[in-house]
Structure 1
Amino acid sequence: MIVFGVDLSCPVIQTLICVAVVVSLTAVSLLRFYAYISCGYYHGRTRMDGKVVIITGANGGIGKETATEIAKRGARVIMACRNLETGKQVRDEIAETTKNDNVILKKLDLSSQKSIREFAEDVIRTEPRLDVLIHNAGTAESKFKKTEDDVEINMATNHFGPFLLTHLLIDLLKKSAPSRIVVVASELYRLASLNLNKINPTSSWCPAYYYYVSKYANICFTLELARRLEGTNVAANCLHPGMINSGIWRNVPFPLNLPLKLIVKGFFKTPAQGCQTSVFLACSEEVEGVTGKYFMDCAERALSSGATDESKAKKLWELSEKFADLRATDPKI
C-alpha cells in the first residue's frame, strides 16, 4: 500500500510507525503522570462545623467539588446558583454523599445586579454569620453581549458581580471574623492587559478575550480588597485552579473547539483536582492570617508587575463602584 509515496507494506516502515506510536503514547502518558504528581492536593483534615460558607456557581465543575469538600468538613454550605433546577439535583447529591443535610440552595445570577442584591438581602436576613465567601462562578462567552445593567457579560459575571456581592456581605463577614474571601482567578490573566479606559467595552472583535481581562481584574480586586480590609481580620486571597476540564470551555466556537476538546480531555485537571486550592484557602490553618496573596496548587505564587500595580488596582476599584452601581447606602469597604 502506497501513501504519499511511502510503501506501508515495507517492514522497516512498519517498524518505524510502531516506534513512533509507542513514543507518542509514552510521551502522553508521562505528561499526564507529571500533571498528576505536580497537582497540589490539600490533605488537611480541618473541620468547619458551625461555620457558614457561600460558594457561587456550586452546581457544576470545581464549584460542585468545592461544595462537596466543604460539606464533608461539616460546614453549612450555601450554594449560590443561577440554575436552580440543576442546583437542586446537585444539592441533593452533595447532601447524600457527605451525609451533611445542612447544604442550602439559593438563587444568584451574578450578571444581574438585581439578583445579587436580592441574594445578599436574603443571606443577611437568614444567616447570623458568614465565615467564608468563595467567588467561584465564572463564564467565558464567545459572543458579545450586554447584561440588563448595560455591562459586558464576561466582566459583569466574573468581576463586577463579585465586587458588588462582596460589598453587600462585608458587614456579615466582619461580624464573623476571622473570616475569609476566596476569589477564583486564572493564570490566563497573563494573556490580557487591563485597559482601564475600556473596562466595560461597547463592542469586541473577540468577546472571549474579556474572560482573560476579567481574571486580571479578579486579581487586582483581591489585592486592593486585602489592603482595604487590613485590621478587620477578614482575609482575601485569589488563586489559579489550573486548567480544568469543566463546562466553561463549551462556549469555544467551532472549529477551535475540536482540537481543544482533545487537549482538555488529555491534559487538563479534573474538577476534583481543580478545587483543591479553593478548599485550601477556605479552611487550611496554614493560611490563617494570610491575605492579599495569589496561590496555585496550594502554594503561593508570584504575579506580574502589572497585576500588583496598586495605582491600577485603585483606579479599577473606582470604576467598579460605578459599573456595579454601588450606592451611598451600601456597606463600605
Structure 2
Amino acid sequence: MNNRIVIITGANSGIGRAAATKFAEEGYHVIMACRNLEISREVQKQIVEVTKNEKVELMELDVSSFASIREFCSQFWNKFDKLDILIHNAAYLNHGEKVYQLSKDNIELTFATNTFGPYLMTNLMREHLAKSEDPRILHACTTNIRHFFDTKRKLELDNLHGEYKDSQPYNVYKRYGDSKMALLMLTFKFAEEFKEAGIQVNAIQIPAVKLSKETIKKLSPFFRVLAWMQHPFATSPESMANIYYEICTSDKFRNITGKLINEYGQIVKVSEYGTSFIEDIKQFKDKRVYPKYADNEEMKEIIWSLCKNLTCNKFEVKKIQH
C-alpha cells in the first residue's frame, strides 16, 4: 500500500490538476493545495471518481499570502507526520494585466506567489520532508527565463512594494520571468542548504502548454488569438504531469538535486554558447541550456537574503491545539 504523501499547489487546473490525477492514479496520498475551494471541490471529486483513489484531499492555500501558508502548514502538521513530495506548481500570470498588483503582505503579486511564497512554505515543511525516506521538492519554472540570454536583462527588485508603481510601466510578463528566474536561483540555493538533510530540490522548465477553452476565453482578444495559434504545437498538461511524476518518484532522479530539467526529462546545463548573433539564436532554441545569469552567485545571495528578510519571524508556527 502506497503511504507516500505529495502536496501539489495550484492543483485545480492545468498541469497541477493533471499532476494530481497522475499521482492519485499511482496510489499516492494527494494534497491539493488550492486558493479557490469552490472550484477545487468539484475538481477533487472528479479526480477521485476517475482514479478510484479516496486519498485525494483538498486544503486551502493562497501561496501569495504568508498568513495562508502558515495556516496551511499548521493544519498539515497536525494531520501528518511527514511529507514525501512538495511540488510548487501554483503561479501568478494574469495575461495582459497592466495594473500593478500587491499581495496581502504588500509585495508585488507575481513575486509573492512565484518566489517568496514557495520559499516560506519550503522552509516550514523542511522538518516533515526530512522524515521521508526519499524527500523531493520540485519548482515549476518556465522557458520565459530564456530571455535572460540577453546579457542586458537583469532582475528588477527595486519596485517590490510598489515604490514606483505610479511612475513605471507594469509588465506582467517581465515580472513573471523575473520571479521565475529568482525561483530557479532559489532551487540551486535550497539544494545546497538541504543537501545534508537528504532533501532533493529540482526545477522543471515548462514550455508553452495547451490551455483549456475556459482559460482561453478569459484572455484578452490579442492573447486569445496567440493561444489558439500556439495550441497545435503546445505541450499537453498530461505530458508535463508525467514529467513531474518521473522527476519526483523515479530512480533516475533519486540522487539528482540542484538541477533544471526540461520537458523531455533532460538535465539542462548552463549555456556555453558564444556571443555572436548566430550563437545567440542557437542558444535560444536549445532547450538543453539555461542562461549564465542563473548561476550568478551574488544575485543568488541577494535573492536568498531578500526572501529571508521578507519572511523573517514567519518560520515559527505552532501546532493547533484541539
Q: How does the TM-score come out when normalised to structure 1? A: 0.80
1:227 to 180, 188, 192: 192
Structure 2 residue aligned with 1:273 = 239
> 2:172 is paired with a residue of what secondary structure?
coil
Taking every aligned residue pair, what percent have the same amino acid on both sides?
Answer: 30
Deviation, 1:252, is: 8.6
In structure 1, give the amino acid aligned to 2:258: G
> 2:293 is paired with a residue of what secondary structure?
coil
8 A contact 1:52–1:77 mirrored in 2: yes
Given the alignment of the two structures, is residue 59 of structure 1 paired with residue 26 of structure 2, yes or no? no
In structure 2, give the amino acid aligned to 1:235: Q
Backbone CA RMSD of aligned residues? 2.2
Structure 2 residue aligned with 1:81 = 34
Deviation, 1:268, is: 1.2
Deviation, 1:270, is: 1.7
Given the alignment of the two structures, is residue 260 of structure 1 paired with residue 247 of structure 2, yes or no? no
Structure 1 residue aligned with 2:283 = none
Structure 1 residue aligned with 2:309 = 322
| Residues 59-68 or 299-308, more deviating | 299-308
Structure 2 residue aligned with 1:237 = 202
Structure 1 residue aligned with 2:250 = 284
Q: Cα gap change, 1:194/1:129 in structure 2, threshold over 3 Å: closer, same or farther?
A: farther
Given the alignment of the two structures, is residue 307 of structure 1 paired with residue 294 of structure 2, yes or no? yes
In structure 2, C-alpha distance between the alignment counterparts of 1:68 and 1:269, rounded to whole Å: 17
In structure 2, C-alpha distance between the alignment counterparts of 1:236 and 1:100, rounded to whole Å: 27
Deviation, 1:179, is: 0.3
8 A contact 1:140–1:251 mirrored in 2: no
8 A contact 2:207–2:235 mirrored in 1: yes
2:130 to 167, 171, 174: 174
In structure 1, give the amino acid aligned to 2:205: H
Q: How many residues align?
A: 284
In structure 2, give the amino acid aligned to 1:82: R
| Residues 250-259 or 58-67, more deviating | 250-259
In structure 2, give the amino acid aligned to 1:290: I
Residue pairs, 1:171-210, within 5 angstroms: 171-192=127-148, 193-195=153-155, 197-198=157-158, 200=160, 202=162, 203=165, 204-205=168-169, 206-210=171-175
Deviation, 1:278, is: 1.2
| Gap runs ≥5 in structure 1 | 1-47
Deviation, 1:328, is: 6.7
Deviation, 1:86, is: 1.3
| Residues 57-66 or 234-243, more deviating | 234-243
> 2:256 is paired with a residue of what secondary structure?
coil
Structure 1 residue aligned with 2:100 = 144
In structure 1, C-alpha distance between the alignment counterparts of 2:315 and 2:43, rounded to whole Å: 37
Q: Deviations over 1:210-233 (max 9, x none)?
A: 111111111001000001112211
In structure 2, C-alpha distance between the alignment counterparts of 1:310 and 1:286, rounded to whole Å: 28
Deviation, 1:312, is: 1.5
In structure 1, give the amino acid aligned to 2:21: T
1:70 to 2, 23, 40: 23
Q: Cα gap change, 1:208/1:241 in structure 2, threshold over 3 Å: closer, same or farther?
A: closer
Q: Deviations over 1:58-95 (max 9, x none)?
A: 00000000011111111100000001111111111111
In structure 1, C-alpha distance between the alignment counterparts of 2:228 and 2:9, rounded to whole Å: 28
> 2:12 is paired with a residue of what secondary structure?
coil
Structure 1 residue aligned with 2:113 = 157
8 A contact 1:53–1:132 mirrored in 2: yes
In structure 2, C-alpha distance between the alignment counterparts of 1:85 and 1:132, rounded to whole Å: 25
Q: Cα gap change, 1:157/1:257 in structure 2, threshold over 3 Å: closer, same or farther?
A: same
